[in-house]
Structure 1
Amino acid sequence: MNDTMITFSGWVGGNVELGRTATGTSFANLRVGSTPRRLKDGTWEDQETVWYSVKAWRTLAENVAASVHRGQPVLVSGRLVAETWERADGSTATRHVVLATAIGHDLSRGRAEFSRPASPENVQEARPEAAA
């Protein structure tokens, strides 16, 4: 496999945008800023912030949209890809996007509470009339 894998920490820079394809597949887009810090002469200095475009699909997209919000610290892991498209003037443009395989809160910067959405099978078993 020749994919470029990337893992980074950063802060969510805006609202998570949840959408669906024409076939109904969920996707989420978000921007994450990561500011490296370097120790120089005994003092920590912030470097230039790098902004990443992140895309999540299917269940991950739904969970990110429900759980992650602007300003929160996150860890992102995924595949770095180049998206190329043609502009209205005929020129081409390229941007790099991280296709996320995992996104979660950075617990070195705060606390989070995990909950698993109920699956249709568990909901059916939990209803009293299902037991009768």
Structure 2
Amino acid sequence: MNDLLTIVGNIASDPQHTITPSGVSILNFRLASNHRRFDNKTGQWVETDPNWYSVSAFRRLADNGKLSLARGDSVIVSGKLRVRDWESNGRRGTSVDLEADTIGPDLRFGTVRYARSRSERSADDQNENDETSDSAAHTDDDAWAVPRSDDNVPLALDTTQDAAGGEREPAEVPF
């Protein structure tokens, strides 16, 4: 039996993307879940030590995460929890791993514009798009990438179509 868990936190490491020899895409990153509590003695909110998780995503989730996620992003991760003890070079510890089923942005701290990847679209969606637009076909290969400013601050990207059905220039909006 798997324990299912949903964690809200910040990506604390640069996501690492690898592909296994058999072709399975894997994305790994560390997630810090911060907590606050009210201290009745001081009458103030106090930050507590964060909980740390090692998150792994596989296949399409890993591919989309590679294009969408970066260190510092506020995310919500839901998946299967695995707690295991380890020993290496005389050291012992416990690892808390989360195999992600889904990853999404925490919209309390920013905005995003969602775009389905091309392979997720139904045949009806693709046929409708083909019939209504004579302009060059829009590819969603880069739609998952969150554009960033020079100082790596995420920017929202608006790629809506103009009134004539053609694509507008992206409008960058700070989160």
The CA distance in 1 between the partners of 2:36 and 2:92, in whole Å, is 34
Deviation at 1:119, TM superposition (A): 2.2
Distance 2:45 2:90 in 1: 45
Q: Within 2, Cα distance between the matches of 1:37 and 1:93?
A: 25
Q: One-letter code of the match for 1:102?
A: T
Q: Distance in 1 between matches of 2:87 and 2:45?
A: 42
Moved more, 114-123 or 67-76: 114-123
3-state SS of 1:63 partner = helix
Distance in 2 separating the partners of 1:18 and 1:113: 23
Q: Give the gaps of 5 or more residues in structure 1.
A: none
Residue aligned with 1:47, SS: strand
CA distance in 1 between partners of 2:50 and 2:19 (Å): 30
After TM superposition, the structure 1 = structure 2 runs for residues 20-35 of structure 1, keeping only pairs within 5 Å, are: 20-35=19-34
**Equivalent position SS for 1:76:** strand
- Shift of residue 96, structure 1, vs aligned partner: 2.5
**1:28-107 → structure 2 map (5 Å cutoff):** 28-41=27-40, 42-82=43-83, 87=88, 95-107=95-107
List runs of 5+ in structure 2 lacking aligned partners: 135-175
SS for the counterpart of 2:66 is: helix
Q: How many positions carry a matched residue from both structures? A: 125
For 2:39 and 2:33, the matched residues in 1 are separated by: 19
Q: Normalising to structure 2: TM-score of the pair?
A: 0.62
CA distance in 2 between partners of 1:46 and 1:91 (Å): 29
Distance (whole Å) between structure 2 residues aligned to residue 119 and residue 96 of structure 1: 33
Displacement after TM superposition at 1:110 (Å): 1.1
Structure with bigger gyration radius: 2
1:10 equivalent to 2:34? Answer no
Closer/same/farther in 2, CA of residues 50 and 119 from structure 1, 3 Å limit: same
Do the aligned residues in 1 keep the contact of 2:11 with 2:29 (CA within 8 Å)? yes
Q: 1:91 to 1:22 in 2, by over 3 A?
A: farther
Aligned CA-pair RMSD? 2.8
**Percent of residue pairs identical:** 33
Secondary structure of 1:64's aligned partner? helix
Secondary structure at 1:65 match in 2? helix
Report the TM-score when normalising by structure 1.
0.80
Q: Distance in 2 between matches of 1:113 and 1:103?
A: 15
What SS class does the counterpart of residue 69 from structure 1 fall into? coil
